[in-house]
Homo-oligomer: A and B are copies of this chain.
Amino acid sequence: MDLDLARELAVTSDSKIVLYVIDGLGGLPHPDTRRSELEAANIPHLDRLATEGVCGLTVPVGPGITPGSGPGHLALFGYDPYRYQVGRGVLEALGIDFALQPNDVAARGNFCTVDEAGRITDRRASRISTDTCAELCDLVREIRLPGIELFVEPVREHRFLLVLRAAGLDDRLSETDPQQLGVEPPPAHALAPEAEGTASHINRLIEEAKRVLSGRQPANMLLLRGFSKHPAFPSFGDVFRMRAAAVAVYPMYRGLAKLVGMTILPTGVTLEDELETLRQHWDEFDFFFLHYKRTDAAGEDGDFDAKVAALEAADAVVLPLREMGPDVLMVAGDHSTPATIAAHSWHPVPFVLQSQWCRPDRAREFNEAACATGSLGTFPATEAMPLAMAHARRLTKYGA
């Protein structure tokens, strides 16, 4: 369902929807036991939810496509990730809670190593420490560009955020990271006539950076990717006619929720803190996005047992969540992060939706194989919101 149709069919109600995102939820079998992380975990409350609700597997972006966190979450929020794209620069800003303004142009930066001829020898500058990155950001931040306010913020290791602030900037610029070694970083090119001025500012910055970073081995140069402005997405609350709140510990996920206009609730760092935050604000909102990160982190680390433990911790809040009495509870993932791959993957993601109005299916456990037998089948993640809205009795009839 596209957002225009959602806006047309959405009606208000006093029902409540919770979208509980277990990041990197899906997995793959352990080579020894042939059981996936979810199959190995003891997750009685999720299993019960699967028994009582309807199950399926979500395809975050498309078959075979491994999504980043941006597209993975936007799809669950009901936003077609092909249509609603978020640039890398903006995502980097979201990830460190940098408050982008509408005119800002953001870019993801890497400190890198170049030889005497200026040719790249290491695109990641030996992954310098975050502290070193912060020192180098201090140097770059001192560069003066006429009429431009410059922000240079360390992110992690060799990565940093660059933001240019001024009226009339344009983000249609080519990247200065050639994604290969042995060549000089190319200058930024304007991809539209309106971006010529911004390109000059960027190229002047690069020239100055070359000078101030000279000799700062191994990080003696920088590369810029994903020039982008804060996108103007339709408001989730307007489209679905709900007061929507987000509870998330990591800035990236708060940022994605903010991008669609959700209210961000300040919260503590544990899942129990997040649950408590949700409880405190239960009466104020119709929709809650609750984000849990540890599963993805364990998967990315390739730590199967840690992912199993994180899933069991995720399971523990299901009962108290249900006791708050949501009319619709969805448990979903933005993508799979199998510990055996130690990275995001393309595999469809287990999904369960529980409400009074579910037509029960044959899935009795919450894992990849069981969800594959569920009545929702393997379906686009963008359909999760319309399904939730329907089960919450928040969508009117289509056609007479």
Chain A residues close to B by CB (< 8 Å): 1, 5, 9, 26, 28-29, 34, 36, 57, 61-72, 81-82, 85-86, 88, 91-92, 108, 226, 341, 344-348, 357, 359-362, 368-369, 372-373, 375-379, 383, 385-391, 395-400
Output the least CB separation between A45 and chain B (Å). 21
- A360–B33 Cα distance when bound, in Å, is 13
Task: Name the contact of A9 in the complex, choosing from B65, B344, B345, B389 (C-beta under 8 A).
Answer: B65
A399:B360 contact, CB within 8 angstroms: no
Q: Across the interface, which residues of B come within 8 angstroms of A389, CB to CB?
A: 64
A360:B29 contact, CB within 8 angstroms: yes
Q: Across the interface, which residues of B come within 8 angstroms of A391, CB to CB?
A: 64
Knowing that A64-B395, A346-B395, A347-B359 touch, tell me 4 more A-B residue pairs with CB under 8 angstroms. A1-B64, A85-B399, A346-B387, A361-B369
**A387-B357 contact in complex given A81-B399, A88-B400, C-beta closer than 8 Å:** no
Q: Which among A57, A108, A390 has the highest number of chain B CB atoms within 10 Å?
A: A390
Q: Across the interface, which residues of B come within 8 angstroms of A396, CB to CB?
A: 66
B1:A390 contact, CB within 8 angstroms: no
Output the least CB separation between A251 and chain B (Å). 14
Q: Across the interface, which residues of B come within 8 angstroms of A65, CB to CB?
A: 1, 9, 386, 390, 395, 398
A362 nearest in chain B by CB position: B369
- A18–B398 Cα distance when bound, in Å, is 26
A225 nearest in chain B by CB position: B400
